[in-house]
């Protein structure tokens, strides 16, 4: 694919660039799928932020005796169980601003204090989550969850007490939830949708399942996911490489004598959703 074709994809709004029928259809399809993903993020963030406003959090951090602190902790665990039940959360935990886990729920199980991590500050979501503005939530890049033992996304919001950030409240959703939403209604290889995470790996592909469960000690993206070129070909990979700061784009590209309409849309969390159709 010529580099000029990438520029066409990123300059869709220019009147001089004619938009073909296939491009129009793929542009509409990718907009629909990106909106589905964005709405999932919006609902998850709202639920997490609302949970972090429960009065148990300031009670926990301002308690002056062990009994009051334990009462507040029990209330926090009930709040997290309720959220988990409603949103099919893999894991949910409260982490101190200094790094130690204060509470954790995995499945429907409350972790005992002896099982809580002494330091989560090195987790990829910790620093950006703590830096997030109050009543806002951060969407992480995908990672292998050490507790759920599968690939997940994290949502993180700071817990603010008397004007200061004391902790982060965090939960994880398995990538299969996003795969199912993006793949719904799709079938066949000639018209398909992929999602590319930050780093260039395809984490969802409507042409077939992508396993997200832990395999041995493997934790690297390359152990589970294919890069764009391997999954969808060089022409699609070239479009992905040209996304840059552009939020939307569409083009017709060629590879091995065949033409493809390719559209993309960026979504919070560093994902690029791409719709591809053989012409």
Could you tell me the CA-to-CA distances from 192 to 110, 142, 173 in Å, in that order?
40, 22, 24
Question: Can you spell out the DSSP letters for 232-262?
Answer: H-HHHHHHHHT-TT-SEEEEEEEETTEEEEE
Residue 231 has what pLDDT? Answer: 97
**Per the domain annotation, does 180 fall within a domain?**
no
Count of structural domains, the chain: 2
Return the sign of the alpha-carbon dihedral for residues 126, 33, 209, 258: negative
- 132 and 239 housed in the same domain: no
Q: For residues 226-233, give the mean pLDDT.
A: 97
CATH number of the CATH domain containing 171: 3.30.450.20
- 208 and 242 housed in the same domain: yes
- 33 and 18 housed in the same domain: yes
128 vs 8, more confident: 128
pLDDT digits (tens, 9 = 90+) for 53-105: 999 999 999 999 999 999 999 999 999 988 887 777 889 999 999 999 999 99
For 32, the domain range is 3-39+187-278
Pairing of strands 226-227, 248-255: unpaired
Say if residue 3's pLDDT is above 70: no
- 93 and 156 housed in the same domain: yes
Say if residue 271's pLDDT is above 50: yes
The alpha carbon of 75 is separated from its chain's Cα centroid by a whole number of angstroms, namely 28
**Per the domain annotation, does 240 fall within a domain?**
yes
Question: Can you spell out the DSSP letters for 178-227?
Answer: HHHHHHTT--SSSEEEEEEETTTEEEEETTS----B-BTTB-SGGGT-EE
- Out of 129, 148, 175, a domain closes at 175
- 121 and 230 housed in the same domain: no
* Full-model pTM: 0.89
pLDDT digits (tens, 9 = 90+) for 238-263: 999 999 999 999 999 999 999 999 99
CATH number of the CATH domain containing 225: 3.30.450
Distance separating alpha carbons of residues 195 and 34, to the nearest angstrom? 9
Q: For residues 104-124, give the mean pLDDT.
A: 92
**Per the domain annotation, does 201 fall within a domain?**
yes
Distance separating alpha carbons of residues 40 and 65, to the nearest angstrom? 40
């Amino acid at each position: 694919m010529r580099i000029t074709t990438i520029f066409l994809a990123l300059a869709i709004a220019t009147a001089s660039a004619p938009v073909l029928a296939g491009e129009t259809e793929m542009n509409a399809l990718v907009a629909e799928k990106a909106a589905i993903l964005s709405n999932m993020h919006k609902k998850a963030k709202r639920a997490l932020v609302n949970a972090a406003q429960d009065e148990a959090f300031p009670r926990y951090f301002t308690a002056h005796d062990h009994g009051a602190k334990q009462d507040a902790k029990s209330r926090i665990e009930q709040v997290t169980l309720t959220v988990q039940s409603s949103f099919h959360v893999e894991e949910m935990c409260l982490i101190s601003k200094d790094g130690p886990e204060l509470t954790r729920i995995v499945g429907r199980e409350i972790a005992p204090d002896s099982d809580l991590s002494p330091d989560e500050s090195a987790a990829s979501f910790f620093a950006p989550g703590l830096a997030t503005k109050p009543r806002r939530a951060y969407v992480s890049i995908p990672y292998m969850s050490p507790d759920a033992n599968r690939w997940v996304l994290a949502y993180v919001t700071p817990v603010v007490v008397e004007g200061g950030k004391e902790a982060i409240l965090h939960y994880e959703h398995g990538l299969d939830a996003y795969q199912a939403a993006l793949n719904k209604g799709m079938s066949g290889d000639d018209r398909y949708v992929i999602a590319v995470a930050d780093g260039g790996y395809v984490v969802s592909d409507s042409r077939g399942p992508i396993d997200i469960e832990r395999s041995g000690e493997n934790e690297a993206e390359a152990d589970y996911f294919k890069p764009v070129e391997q999954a969808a070909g060089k022409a699609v990979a070239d479009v992905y490489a040209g996304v840059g700061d552009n939020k939307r784009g569409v083009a017709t590209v060629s590879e091995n004598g065949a033409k493809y309409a390719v559209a993309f849309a960026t979504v919070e969390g560093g994902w690029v959703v791409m719709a591809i159709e053989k012409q």
